[in-house]
Amino acid sequence: MNPAGLLEQVRRAWAIAKKDIRIYYLKGPVLIFGVFMPVFLFLAFLMGSRQLPLAFLVSGLIGMTLFFTATAVSPAIFPWEGSAKTLERLASCPVTVETIVFGDMIASVLFGIGITAVTIAIGLALGLPLLHGVTLAAAVLLAAVCFSAIGMLLAVPPTNVPSNIMMLSSLIKFPLVFISGIFVPLEQLPTWGLALAVCSPLTYFADLVRYAFTGVSYFPVGIDLGALAVFTLAFTAVTMVLHRRTMSRRM
């Protein structure tokens, strides 16, 4: 594709993202789920773990907030549009499947970053010093793209029943949270627990957030950023390929 054609597809992806934000994201239940689900998990854990430092707890909250918000709606967009027959109209437009998926991902990334910024502000209001702002910004952006790609990957099964996808989404997302060192410091995990933790991109994001606030991380910062980048590229590539294969089965 020539540069002009690529730029036009990006413009159309942005139009799809704005449509998604207006129709799917700016809804009360979505905002409530994105904000209150991680907050409730955080408070439940806080009541039983008062001995853990505030930086560890807030970093876990930031990690859960971005993960849950970036994957809150994206898995269900394709089923919703398929059941409403709007996906057929979108597919008939001069856009590629990759453009449609990319547009959905942009909306998810913006929503995740916006809600996570509020959580970061709460951490700063509680008195946590931000030692590495650039690292935190890079980690949030990279993780938002990674988690949005996970959300779109969960939408691959060609069903037009949103509840089926949301059930599958919950079965995958919650185990990822619990193996990611969000609730237990990585240095306290047993060998088998650490082996599971390194398989989750959320582990590396939470480690980067803790580094941004405390200057200390379990893995070297370069390893965290590199792992997040690899996960992002892998999930995005697989998502694009699988959606290209299943799009015709949704019509």
Q: Please compute the mean of the pLDDT values over residues 203-230 and round it to a whole number.
A: 93
| pLDDT score of 37 | 66
Over 80: is that where the pLDDT of 47 sits? no
Surface-to-core class of residue 31, CB atoms within 10 Å of its CB (0-12 exposed, 13-18 middle, 19+ buried): middle
pLDDT at position 174 over 60: yes
Between 18-32, 96-110, 136-150, 158-172, the lowest mean confidence (pLDDT) is in 18-32
What is the per-residue pLDDT across 180-201, written as a single tens digit (0 to 9) for each? Answer: 888 788 888 888 889 999 999 9
C-alpha–C-alpha distance, residues 227 and 123, integer Å = 25
3-state DSSP assignment of residue 92: coil
DSSP, res 25: I
pLDDT of residue 46: 64
pTM of the predicted model over 0.85:
yes
Are 186 and 218 in contact, with CB atoms under 8 Å apart? Answer: yes
In 3D, which of 81, 122, 85 has the Cα closest to residue 103? 81
Number of Cβ within 10 Å of residue 160's Cβ equals 16
Residue pointed to by tokens 């209001």: 125
Q: For 8-12, 24-28, 127-131, 178-182, which range has the lowest pLDDT when averaged over its residues?
A: 24-28
**Residue 158 pLDDT greater than 60, yes or no:** yes
Could you report the per-residue pLDDT of 28-41, keeping only the tens digit for each?
666 666 667 666 76
Question: Is residue 126 left, alpha or beta, with left meaning phi > 0 and alpha meaning psi from -120 to 50?
Answer: alpha
How does pLDDT run across 103-142, given as a tens digit for each residue?
Answer: 889 989 998 898 888 888 888 887 888 899 999 999 999 9
